[in-house]
Amino acid sequence: MKLYNTLSGKKEEFIPIVPGEVKMYICGPTVYNLIHVGNARPMIIFDVLRRYFTYKGYKVTFVQNFTDVDDKIIRRANEEGASSDEIARKYIEEYFKDADGLGVLRADVHPKATENIGEIIDMVKKLIDKGYAYVSGGDVYFRTNAFKNYGALSRQPLDELEAGARVEVSEAKESPVDFALWKASKPGEPAWPSPWGEGRPGWHIECSAMSNRYLGKTIDIHCGGQDLIFPHHENEIAQSECANGSKFVNYWLHNGFLSIDNKKMSKSLGNFFTVRDAAQAYGYEAIRFFMLSASYRSPLNYSAESLEQSAAALERLYTTKGNLEFLMNNGADGDMREAEKARLGELAAYKKAFEEAMDDDMNTADALSAVFEMVREINTAVANDPTKAFAGACLEKLSELTGVLGLLYGKKEESLDERVRQLIEERQAARKARNFSEADRIRDELKSMGVILEDTPQGVKWRKA
């Protein structure tokens, strides 16, 4: 399998450190807010990469952290009159609701910064002892000049970075490019005792410390969005390689931005939709499908049309799945026919096309095309009174591929439209059965959801009150 490595700027053949095993770390969210659709892109993309490795027979260890101490969390806590711990806990819970909805598998470990303060302090100490870091007031800074490879990942020579950073010269730092490993805490902020006084970790050090603790000094893959290349990942490399004296990561993978009107979707610009709202409108799974419709490194533009198209395409997959499930119960009895066996064999070509696409730096767009070609083939193959066995075998072939993409997991009910349509159908059935009290009950339930029904000659219409 070939993967595009940001470090070399090339597609490289993936060779794991330990044959048959993959160690992956993905930078997780800072938990102070509901996640937006842009944040969902790395979650979904790297979930698919993990699933694909598993499909290929690798044993994958997948770690994703939570940044649960940070300026933004502290600010939010002050606004809400809560502790930062309460804010972090609340938004971790909300994160999992969305991640589960999107069909993103839980990591093997979800470490939190606040539960790894000891590891973080040990790493900072090591960096000071080796001359890579210095204490200034109650802060500790990384001495960027001491690491000759600084800037390699983002391809920016240190002198250029220094020239660019001059504006924010600080008395506390030896060089403007130096960054905080440990920050003295201000009154009222969360704080932990350390050899340098009460304080809290800088942002970058947590990933170095947790990757080290849960996966070891050198790992196979580290991933996240492109905005993390500099400074976050550059700083992680500096910290880990200087503390450990060994290579940190073999393959650096970064997804492109999700944009809206061609501007990166971000909290700070305010041009975002939360995953929660988008899921209400289109369903969680349509969001997942949409993310897979483009190669992960390309920019991807969010729009109502593209989400609607994704929902419609997903519906086609569900129709085939539903049809196959029906045929598994209602098809012809007996063994699979010879002609059916031959047809089944032909499906191998789509599986091969799917794997070729995925092996080429995880081209999910082409992989999805292969799935749809397989669907077309299956639809014609089961058109004429198939056996139950053949329908079942076709569904198995299809599910093998959709399972890698994490599709067809059936969490569609989050969308209001779906739920309303379902209730309207139930109400019609109740009326047909002359069960008017049930029909009225359903009408009231819809009313409590803010939905008004109108019986028209064209059937039942509904609108939001």
Q: How far is it, in rounded angstroms, from Cα 407 to Cα 403?
A: 6
Least distance (Å) between residue 45 CB and Zn ion: 16
Q: How far is it, in rounded angstroms, from Cα 439 to Cα 432?
A: 9
When binding is defined by CB under 6 A, the residue of 48, 265, 358, 408 that contacts ligand AMP is 265
CA neighbor of 406 nearest in space, from 95, 93, 64, 40 = 40
Sort 240 into a burial class: Cβ within 10 Å, 0-12 / 13-18 / 19+. Answer: buried
Least distance (Å) between residue 65 CB and Zn ion: 7
Least distance (Å) between residue 30 CB and ligand AMP: 5
Closer by beta carbon to ligand AMP, 84 or else 402: 84
When binding is defined by CB under 6 A, the residue of 5, 6, 30, 402 that contacts ligand AMP is 30
Give 47's Cβ-side CA count (13 Å radius).
23
Q: Would you say 1 and 13 are in contact if contact means Cβ atoms under 8 Å apart?
A: yes
- Restricting to residues 382-421, name those near Zn ion by CB under 5 A: none
Q: How far is it, in rounded angstroms, from Cα 173 to Cα 181?
A: 12
Task: Write the interaction track for Zn ion spanning residues 225-254; mark x where CB under 5 A is met and - where it is not.
Answer: ------------------------------
Position with the least CB separation from ligand AMP: 225
Residues 161-187 as b/e (b if ≥16 CB within 10 A, e otherwise) read: bbeebeeeeeeebebbbbbbbbbbbee
Least distance (Å) between residue 221 CB and ligand AMP: 14
Closer by beta carbon to Zn ion, 207 or else 238: 207
Residues 266-300 as b/e (b if ≥16 CB within 10 A, e otherwise) read: beeeebbbbbbebbebbbbbbbbbbbbebbbbeeb
When binding is defined by CB under 6 A, the residue of 228, 275, 344, 347 that contacts ligand AMP is 228
When binding is defined by CB under 6 A, the residue of 221, 258, 307, 358 that contacts ligand AMP is 258
Task: Write the interaction track for ligand AMP spanning residues 35-74; mark x where CB under 6 A is met and - where it is not.
Answer: ---xx-xx--------------------------------
DSSP state of 33: S
When binding is defined by CB under 5 A, the residue of 3, 31, 40, 207 that contacts Zn ion is 207
β-bridge mates for residue 371, sequence order:
none
Least distance (Å) between residue 27 CB and ligand AMP: 5
- Element (H or E) spanning 219, and its range? strand 219-225
Q: Which does 23 bind (CB under 5 to 8 A by kind): Zn ion, ligand AMP, none?
A: none
- Restricting to residues 18-37, name those near Zn ion by CB under 5 A: 27
Q: Would you say 47 and 178 are in contact if contact means Cβ atoms under 8 Å apart?
A: no
Q: Which does 156 bind (CB under 5 to 8 A by kind): ligand AMP, Zn ion, none?
A: none
Q: How far is it, in rounded angstroms, from Cα 205 to Cα 237?
A: 10
Q: Which does 225 bind (CB under 5 to 8 A by kind): ligand AMP, Zn ion, none?
A: ligand AMP
Q: How far is it, in rounded angstroms, from Cα 216 to Cα 243?
A: 13
Least distance (Å) between residue 265 CB and ligand AMP: 4
Closer by beta carbon to ligand AMP, 113 or else 133: 113
CA neighbor of 37 nearest in space, from 355, 280, 320 = 280
Query: Given the rule CB under 5 A, which residues bind Zn ion?
Result: 27, 207
Query: Given the rule CB under 6 A, which residues bind ligand AMP?
Result: 27, 29-30, 38-39, 41-42, 224-225, 227-228, 255, 257-258, 264-266
